[in-house]
Amino acid sequence: MNDVVAKLRELLGSDCITDPALADGYLSDWRGLLRGNAACVLRPRTTSLLSRSVRICQEAGVNVVPQGGNTGLVGGSTPDETGLQIVVSTGAMKKIRTVDPVDMSVVAEAGATIAELQSAAAEADALFPLSFASEGTATLGGALATNAGGISAVRYGSARDLLLGMEVVLPDGRIWNGLRTLRKDNTGYALKHLFAGSEGTLGIIAAAAMKLAPLPVGREVAFCAVETEDQVLDFWMKLRAAADGNVRAIEYLSGSCVELAKREGLRSPVEKADHYVLVELTSSRPEAGLKDMLEAFLADRLEDGTIVDAALAQSGEQQKQIWRLREDQTEVQKKAGRDFKHDVAVPVANVPELLRRSRADVEAGFPDVTVVPFGHVGDGNIHLNVVLPAALGAERAAEHGRQISQAIYDIVLSLGGTFSAEHGIGRAKVGLLESKRDPVELDLMRRIKSALDEDGSFNPGKIFR
Ligand code: FAD
Ligand code: 2HG
Ligand code: ZN
């Protein structure tokens, strides 16, 4: 191993990190649940250096763990404990190569953050549509490798839907240059879609071309209190019909989520309820009349009883406060005790049943637990999280967590859903994938893996055991 590290050091100089203090932040996951070790951490600055680094690793038979912003929630970017793997971070590859307002595309290196892409697009009067709470740190490469969704997927789709082209360093060190910005390109297999959602198991995304959208000029945000799960769905159906193309976000929060946020000092602008929905409408047409539209829509919903209270933000500051109730959930839940995450999706029509059954089953079996579901209701994607009291002790919490997860996944699958909607498989859901997915599907996935990564050296233990 010393020889390999010496060669990498020769190639990358101080961008080959061996100092434990400097390497530390790359060795554990965002949630603080996993801690690994690595022979070194590489931060190549160009695709060519990335490719040469990977080739050195490949020739020495060393396993590689790709990493972007390290904000993933399923342990995909953490090395194992052996100290024999090498973390390859794209953090130093941040160039935004082109923003093309005619083509409506951006070409950027993998380490550019989502927030940097949003800013670069806005400077050219365009919108980079991906958006989620970790956007200040999460990278383009990571978002594509996990096929991240987020709050505006209901309007613009997930990362994959925005993908036009890719530059990838393959496990043998070769560079595949598929960095095209064409809107139509039916030239054989769409290889880029293999790498989207592949979680660092097939190659390292070095750069990507992504679609942009028109920059919104109008933005309205409202927060509503709702009495029942069915009314949450009813509200969304009515909003979709009334505002259709203008809905940028429709997010669900349970009453328990808002109570947790209040404990952290946040304020809700509506009366207390069992359920809440957050709506954001945007338009790139100044004359769209979004405010009148939303005001009239909310008045109608109060009138027909779909909602019991509503607040339409009157300033940018109020919009931010409303969004914090939603965007701070991951942090708030992390602080509240031992949090167990279930990033699930069901057909949208089954969301009320999912919310009802999971809460009833979990609360009946585990009186100590707080069920804190929230998320992207328009996509049928609910973060069906639970928090157990910290006082329960690690071992009992783990055992309760295991039983609760099983109960939740059983409900999700019985409703035609999936156990990973937008966060991926990583290390956390390897067993679930293996036990719950169709054997033919698994066989095809394994064949793709071995065709691209013959030695199995790219992110071993992730997606597959
Ligand atoms: P990392 O965490 O570094 O890596 C994630 C996976 O991708 C790993 O398997 C890694 O090996 C691989 N990878 C990273 N870069 C590359 C590359 N260049 N080439 C190949 N493989 C690579 N996710 C959502 O989908 N929607 C949300 O709303 C959302 N909100 C979040 C909010 C918070 C507060 C946090 C902490 C996380 C949230 N996430 C969300 C999860 C996470 O931010 C996303 O999955 C994000 O896309 C990960 O990007 P990253 O750069 O941090 O990747
Ligand atoms: C979100 O939607 C993220 O905020 C994180 O996907 C979800 O913390 C979670 O469980
Ligand atoms: Zn989410």
In this predicted structure, the answer to whether residue 24 has a pLDDT above a threshold of 90 is: yes
Q: Which pair of structure tokens corresponds to residue 428?
A: 């956390």
* pLDDT-based confidence at residue 226 (cuts at 50, 70, 90): very high
Top-confidence residue, 297 or 396:
297
Q: What gap in Å lies between CA 252 and CA 270, rounded to an integer?
A: 14
Tell which one of 260, 335, 343 to mutate to probe ligand 2, the residue whose CB is within 8 A of the most ligand atoms: 343
What pLDDT shows up at residue 7? 98
User: 420: Cβ below 6 Å to ligand 1?
Assistant: no
Q: How many residues does the chain have?
A: 465
CB 324 within 8 A of CB 266: yes
Please state whether beta strands 175-178 and 247-254 pair in parallel, antiparallel, or not at all (unpaired). Answer: unpaired
* pLDDT-based confidence at residue 204 (cuts at 50, 70, 90): very high
Q: What gap in Å lies between CA 149 and CA 131, rounded to an integer?
A: 8
pLDDT tens digits, 431-456:
999 999 999 999 999 999 999 999 99
What pLDDT shows up at residue 392? 86
Q: What gap in Å lies between CA 244 and CA 94, rounded to an integer?
A: 35
Domains of the chain, with CATH numbers?
A: 2-89 (3.30.43.10), 96-214 (3.30.465.10), 218-329 (3.30.70.2190), 337-414 (3.30.70.2740)
pLDDT tens digits, 134-162:
999 999 999 999 999 999 999 999 999 99
pLDDT tens digits, 331-373:
999 999 999 999 999 999 999 999 999 999 999 999 889 999 9
What pLDDT shows up at residue 287? 81
User: 134: Cβ below 6 Å to ligand 1?
Assistant: yes
* Mean pLDDT, residues 123-135: 97
* pLDDT-based confidence at residue 16 (cuts at 50, 70, 90): very high
| Atom 8 of ligand 2, residue of closest alpha carbon | 330
- Return the SS3 of 299: helix
User: 449: Cβ below 6 Å to ligand 1?
Assistant: no
In this predicted structure, the answer to whether residue 288 has a pLDDT above a threshold of 90 is: no
User: 111: Cβ below 6 Å to ligand 1?
Assistant: no
pLDDT tens digits, 50-76:
999 999 999 999 999 999 999 999 999
pLDDT over 70 percentage in the chain: 100
* Mean pLDDT, residues 238-243: 96
pTM of the model: 0.97
User: Please, what is the Cα angle at 360 between 357 and 364, to 5 degrees?
Assistant: 140
**How many angstroms is it from 146 CA to the middle of ligand 3?**
12
CA of 438: how far to CAs of 197, 238, 344, in Å?
Answer: 18, 36, 18
